[in-house]
Amino acid sequence: MYPILGARHSSNVTWSSQHAVTCIGPTRPLSSINIPPNRNRSLGDDEPRFAAMISAFLVFNNQGQPRLTKFYTQLDTSIQQRLISEIFTLVSNRPAGSCNFLPLPPLLAASSTSHSSTEEQSDVPSLVTYRHYATLYFIVISTSTESPLALIDLIQVYVEALDKLFENVCELDLIFNFETLHATLSEMIIGGVVIETSLDRIVAGVRAQGTVAKRPVNEGRSTIGSGMGIGGNFAWTGRV
Amino acid sequence: MFEKSLYDLIRGLRNHKGNEKEYIQKTLKECRAEVRSQDMDLKATALLKLIYLEMVGHDMSWASFHVLEVMSSPKYHQKRVGYLGAVQSFRHDTEVLMLATNLLKKDLAATTPTVISLPIATLPHVITPSLALSTLADLLPRLNHSHANIRKKTLVTLYRLALVYPEALRAAWPKIKDRLMDSNEDPSVTAAIVNVVCELGSRRPHDFLPLAPRLFELLVDSGNNWMAIKLIKLFATLTPLEPRLVKKLLPPLTNIIRTTPAMSLLYECINGIIQGGILDSAEDIAGADEIATLCVNKLRGMIMINGDANLKYVALLAFNKIVLTHPHLVSQQEDVILECIDSTDITIRVQALNLVKGMVTSDNLVPIVSRLMKQLKSSSPSKDRRPPGSSSNTPETESDDESQTAITAPTVRDTQALLIPDDYRIDIIERILFMCSKDNYSSVLDFDWYIDVLTQLVRMAPVPRTFDADTGALLPTRQQVDVSEKIGDELRNVAVKVRAMRATAVRAADVILDQLLSDNPVGHPLSSGALKSSIWIIGEYSIQLALPDDSLNGLLQAIPRIGKPEIVAVALHATAKVFSSIAGSDVEPWTSERKSRISLLLARILDVLEPLALHPNLEVQERAVEFIELLKLTAEAASGQPPSTDENSQEPPLLLTQAIPSLFTGWELNSVAIHAQKNVPLPGGLDLDEPIHSNLGRLLAQTDIITLQSDEADEFEVYYHQRPPPSSISSSAPAISRLADPDDDMASSYQQLSEESYLDADILAKRKAERMEKNKDDPFYIPSDNILRTSTPIHNILQNHNGPALDIDSIPVMQLDLEKIGTTAAAPSRPRPQPRQRVIIAADETLEGSDSGTGRQYDSENSSGNLTKAKSKKSKQHSLLQVDSSTIGSFSLEGNASEGFDYERQQREEAEMQQAMKEVERLRLEMQRANERIQMAQGADVQGVVIKKKKKKVAKKTAGDDENEPTKVKPKKKTKKVAAQTVEGGEPGGVTEDTPGSPSAKVAPKKKKKKKAPGEEVEATGEAGSLV
């Protein structure tokens, strides 16, 4: 009944009232909120989409807690955390109707000045693209040679793939199955280069790796339901 | 012990809200034990938990050996966890990486595609040149794997390999090329190749020109928009090399632009046209014009589309690229771009700002800067909310200049004032400075306006952030350069370069100093960066000061409160200069009145300077001591010279009228181009490496002795270092400054009339007054009475005070060279078009025939100096997330590319490999030993007995018997089985290797064999390694 992300062409997705009670916080399906109509729809799902040299792919929630961190260059854990928190500060202060691109966080701006956008510096990560779904932020840090609009779609493809794998994906799915998150990502991006953007191929690639994806979903859902009481008082402040 | 799954861990975290830290520490401890267990399931689970905790920020680099163990598990789901751990936690300096080589090679040769994918996906994260070297041979055959998925991933991994080890490309390229040419290839693989080629192409476009026909075919035929985007990007790098491509490309590109419904493809087409330099290809002027207009119109449309901020952003990005080559095209779009400057979205604002910087002209400078000033002004309230008293907490870094603006100038503020981060404010200010100072101020028509803007900027400049210790240690941030210092420097530049404006600049500097003094409560240090330049201006051009006594007063008040020693040093000098201009007149008769005034002045100055003679900063100390001595001498001379009476005319002391002024007058200071020094020819006989004196050390030692001898003049010293009796003169401002107040009151009535809402009231008032002053001889201008009234008191006071010799009215623009006379008439006409104020702006001085300097000769110091510095810094320093691909740029695919592997090289490689293997084996043994030690120390951990701090002791004990290690391994292995059942505390707990199927006893003999037969080393380690 719940709309999967496939229903993305409509921005005002409806969901059943029963779900409306339970989808507070991380159980809220990512599709339930504000998926802007995609301007690149005409590109079709089966075509590979490309954007090269991605420096990092991050997912964190509305409180800034990381749900997935993937850095395509080696960084110390502490610097990773600082970068995440800097980006979170930036992203959480965006006014409504802003574009999906962030100014450079201080950590990145320090090494590449934002002033000289004109120069050729294809190797420097200078584009921070984000998308906000329900309770989660998806961030891509990439070089400026990427196609910015394509990156927005790349995130969309990733979320759609997760949605297909988890059936109506929500934050809790991602918390408990972060291994699957990594697996899905590695079907799309290898070493910072996008290799696949077709939804079906990505999903097939993850499923080929075994039953991992399916089992924890049901386990996660059901146990959380019984364990936490899925009633209206279920409030997830997300301190994990 | 109860073992937690990942799921339990996450649930546990949820249940321990409030004390997660404690819970995580507990879990980490459990994981430490579990990850050492012999049970592979337990190990893998523990590792998964560690990976999860790593994501939240808990380092797991200590577990790298266990990661390797789990990677070697035969079960896929465990292996996968291990590889994930490697991806997430391995760094360049992870030592076990060496040990992983064999495992990676083995898994690359696996039969299951899912297993093959693991090392392929992991390699880019952990790749090092030596690892690339040893895995290349295993990776290459994977390019022909039957699964498209594997081929695709291998391709990309090979590219990443090539980034650290360019030779890899030589071997891989022919195969990749074959794949690209093969039209039967899976389209997603072709797309991946295009992606990689695009990446490579941006570095070495020359090598890919031969591929152009095939790429063109793909662009036209594939109908795959995503590949098309990449291809367009690639072509954009190729066209500059092969202009004939342009003609080929234009029809399909124009076609796409006209027809495609996909916004991203449309955008990339335009982008490609811009970047490929197609716009300025000279071949077909009419066509280029047409396409340029088409592009710009499309981009304009993107900005205009309501509500889509993303399109706005990318359009601005594109404009930013066009502006470099076609500024006129972009400036036609000024209206929409300026609209974006006021966007609520900072990202868009910054882009628009970038653009504006490039398209500023003398016509639009004032409106653009006005907009920016308004933004700054409207964002100040966020700062004003801070109570002025709160600054007392951090007096070191606070300067309250902007918090006071609210009090002095309550203006109507935008209700939707955004909270603008300081970074952005600094950015705006820097850009304003850049735009105005561009091309040696060629865009500034009205320097009065500019100086007012600068004065206002000083007040609005954000307080320099408290220096963050850990940030600063890691990365030098832009914050370090105080932006208000830049503003001050700009004011100084104007004062130096624009002679006609000097008086105005001096007045502005005076105002800034006053402002800072009055804004900061007494007892608080002054820290604004603008102080340095302001004080310098006051000193250097003290002749132009309206009220030199007042300014001196201000300086004397400021000196004890200045925080930075370098500013104190400047202030000391300025004090002396101002004093010399006040007291040094040789025309004024030496009356008793003058004598007492000068004695008083000297006493006051000495009173302020004397504490500085003991200043910890040497520069300050030296200058203070110099001036104290000089002024004391002057004081003596002044008191010794009897005042002239009616009948007996006396000359003022020469020290006062001749000696001191001659210290500071002489050559005029001019601005010097940054690179002028470089152009100074080296004198012929100069050898800087030659020692000045063969025995310099002894000479210096001798001078020490000499000074010791001269120390006898103690009496003299004591005399001068005794504090004079405290002077009775209070340092409070004289009444004159209070008389100036009506100025401010008048301002409020004029504020509403002024369209320049971004300037503070007092500055506005000053502007107004100046305008009146200028226009007072203009028959078409009807002056309002109150202005004249307010201006007279100052005038009178001045005349009373300074004598009729100095006329304030003559100070501003009047003091012009003959050729500049037009100024006074031109400036008043406020409504535009405004003729350029005819002032001479001195260019930076440089030497003839300079190559390096010519380009920047006309930039002012602020704009070019810092920019070039930043540029050079950037080029050296690698960005945080940057993938270094510089090596591949210098690598040529041509040459012997076709040869592929040559045997000689392979042999060399093998030799290297053997060397590496030896190293690997050594490391492996070390690791193993270390591990055993830890195991021994914490052997009982698993069983729940916590043994703390024992690790160290045991490690010390075992440290001695390194030599016999290989033989020792065997007995330990045997005890392992025992240890698993019954644990004896402190006994060796067994090695961590857990390789089902291979009896542990076998390990030891193998190692021995290796020691004996180094020739077979590679093979032997190959087996041993696979056991890991």
Mean predicted lDDT score pLDDT of chain A: 67
* A191 closest CA partner among A48, A52, A72: A72
Residue B983 per-residue DSSP state:
-
Distance to chain A for B447, nearest Cα, Å: 26
* Rounded-to-integer distance, Cα B652 and Cα B661, Å: 13
Question: So what's the pLDDT on residue B899?
Answer: 42
Q: What is the pLDDT of residues B43-78, one digit of tens each?
A: 999 999 999 999 888 888 888 899 999 999 999 889
pTM over 0.90: no
Distance to chain A for B53, nearest Cα, Å: 10
Number of neighbouring beta carbons within 10 Å of residue A130: 22
Question: So what's the pLDDT on residue B715?
Answer: 55
* B328 closest CA partner among B302, B281, B372, B289: B289
**What is the share, in percent, of chain B residues with pLDDT greater than 70?**
65
Contact B7 A176 (CB under 8 A): yes
Of B188, B264, B419, the CB nearest to A48: B188
Q: CA separation (Å) from B17 to A174, B20, B22, B25, B512?
A: 20, 6, 10, 14, 53
Band (pLDDT 50/70/90 cuts) for residue A105 is: confident
* Rounded-to-integer distance, Cα B349 and Cα B346, Å: 5
Band (pLDDT 50/70/90 cuts) for residue B980 is: very low
Distance to chain A for B354, nearest Cα, Å: 7
Residues belonging to chain B? 1028
Q: Please work out, in degrees rounded to the nearest 5, the angle formed at the alpha carbon of residue B219 by the alpha carbons of B216 and B220.
A: 90
Is residue B58 a contact partner of residue B24, using CB atoms and an 8 Å limit? Answer: yes
Band (pLDDT 50/70/90 cuts) for residue B104 is: very high
Is residue A75 a contact partner of residue A66, using CB atoms and an 8 Å limit? Answer: no
Beta-bridged to residue B562, according to DSSP, are B526
Handedness of CA B778, B781, B785, B789 (dihedral sign): negative
Is residue B146 a contact partner of residue B112, using CB atoms and an 8 Å limit? Answer: no
* Rounded-to-integer distance, Cα B159 and Cα B204, Å: 13
Number of alpha carbons in the 13 Å side-chain half-sphere of residue B127: 31
* B865 closest CA partner among B534, B468, B434: B434
Question: So what's the pLDDT on residue B1012?
Answer: 45
A5-19, A75-89, B251-265: range with highest mean pLDDT? A75-89
Q: What is the pLDDT of residues B123-178, one digit of tens each?
A: 998 888 889 999 999 999 998 888 889 999 999 999 988 888 888 888 888 888 88
Is residue B403 a contact partner of residue B389, using CB atoms and an 8 Å limit? Answer: no
A155-159, B369-373, B383-387: range with highest mean pLDDT? A155-159
Q: What is the pLDDT of residues A40-89, one digit of tens each?
A: 333 333 322 223 488 999 999 998 889 999 998 888 888 889 999 999 98
Question: So what's the pLDDT on residue B85?
Answer: 92
Of B195, B261, B427, the CB nearest to A42: B261
B-chain CB neighbours of A173 within 8 Å are none
The one-letter amino acid at A34:
N
Band (pLDDT 50/70/90 cuts) for residue B375 is: confident
ipTM beyond 0.95?
Answer: no
SS3 A29: strand
Q: Name the least confident of A17-21, A151-155, B112-116, B179-183.
A: A17-21
* Rounded-to-integer distance, Cα B98 and Cα B658, Å: 79
Q: CA separation (Å) from A20 to A16, A230, B25, B347?
A: 6, 12, 37, 34
Number of alpha carbons in the 13 Å side-chain half-sphere of residue B745: 10
B-chain CB neighbours of A89 within 8 Å are none
Q: Which residues contact B677 (CB under 8 A, 6 or more apart)?
A: none
Return phi, psi of residue A78, to 5°: -70, -40
How far does chain A reach from its first CA to its final CA, in angstroms?
30
Report the Cα B119 to chain-centroid distance in Å.
37
Contact A48 B59 (CB under 8 A): no
In B912-1015 the beta strands, taken as DSSP E runs, fall at: none
Contact A47 B423 (CB under 8 A): no
Return phi, psi of residue B105, to 5°: -60, -40
**What is the share, in percent, of chain B residues with pLDDT greater than 90?**
7
Return phi, psi of residue A106, to 5°: -50, -35
Q: Which residues contact B731 (CB under 8 A, 6 or more apart)?
A: B553, B556, B557, B604
Enclosing H/E stretch for B179: helix B167-181
Q: Which token pair is B715?
A: 């009496």
Q: Name the least confident of A1-5, B499-503, B857-861.
A: A1-5
Average pLDDT of the residues in A96-123: 64
Question: So what's the pLDDT on residue B297?
Answer: 85
Return phi, psi of residue A129, to 5°: -105, 140
Q: What is the pLDDT of residues B310-324, one digit of tens each?
A: 888 888 888 888 887
Mean predicted lDDT score pLDDT of chain B: 71
Contact A175 B10 (CB under 8 A): yes
Is residue B897 a contact partner of residue B174, using CB atoms and an 8 Å limit? Answer: yes
Contact B226 A47 (CB under 8 A): yes
Contact A78 B81 (CB under 8 A): no
Minimal Cα distance from B48: which residue of A?
A179
Q: What is the pLDDT of residues B414-438, one digit of tens each?
A: 333 445 677 778 888 888 888 888 8
